[in-house]
Amino acid sequence: MYDSFATDKLIDLWLTEDIGACDLTVHTMIEKGETGSFYMNAREPMLIAGVDVAARVFSRYDPSLHVDVRVNDGDKVAKGAILIAVSGSARSVLTAERTALNIMQRLCGIANHTARYVEAIAGTKARLIDSRKTTPGLRVLEKHAVTCGGGLNHRLGLDNGVMIKDNHIAVCGSIAAAVARARRQLPVLTKLEVECDRLDQVREALQAGVDVIMLDNMSVPDMREAVAIVNGRTKVEASGGINLETIRPIAETGVDYISTSKITQSAPAVDIGLDDAV
């Protein structure tokens, strides 16, 4: 889910960036009173994400526009499906068109790419989760798109949980010391995760009573051994070197979660267009 108030502020920034002082093309070619009807349509099969955000771009720019959303986030649609119908001032529709298409293509692209990874681990116990490697300013929307594709969200930000990594451990001296320091001030409902790249660290983290152990860039045999060491006593996450070719063998080690930045950083945009309804 995303906050509409925060999203409106983003939309204002996007429109300001694209329009500048004015849309010179429509102001020189289209009369102020001219109207039009247009369809935003899928030019390839796709999963939907961010349709309400795209629709909001039009109504935010010009509240007088009539915007009809025809699909829902999470829907699978065929090529040619109408996603949004928008009518009213032709100037307004054409000025806001690119901004609406850009965000829709980006978010649907993430949902579609996420779905490919989810399908690759179908039948295993592993669940796909995202990372904080998102486009600055778009994190909440991109993480929403991940959920539309069947993935789960990791931390939304640094304030959502404690993640102890190698540099934290180096400062504190050991995993046990780092966990002990964090536990002294950790809110009672907040989880604590430790990143491990060796099996001896897995044992130390388990002894320290952490909520999640992340296996960072471990080999598949080492991951399998780590899962056996943990033996269900805490959750295990695999991370590092994850792609569509490697994810299935990793899932089959028995880990609970697999996190990857590929679903947000490497997702290709889908093909969506805005065409005259006539």
Q: If DSSP codes are grouped into helix, strand and coil, which group holds residue 47?
A: strand
Contacts of 55 (CB under 8 A, 6+ apart): 67, 69, 84, 86, 100
Query: Does the active-site annotation cover 276?
Result: no
226 vs 201: CA distance, rounded Å? 10
Identify the CA nearest to 58 among candidates 15, 17, 20, 18: 15
Please pick, among 97, 130, 142, 195, the residue that the annotation labels catalytic.
195
**Burial call 155-164: b when 16+ CB within 10 Å, e when fewer:** beeeeebbbb
Given 165, 181, 224, 235, the catalytic residue: 165
98 is catalytic: yes
Catalytic site residue from 73, 142, 216, 256: 216
Our answer to whether residue 195 is catalytic in this structure is yes
- Of 116, 133, 181, 191, the active-site residue reads 133
Tokens of 115: 């779905």
Rounded to whole angstroms, how far apart are CA atoms 175 and 202?
Answer: 10
Task: List residues with catalytic annotation.
Answer: 98, 133, 165, 195, 216
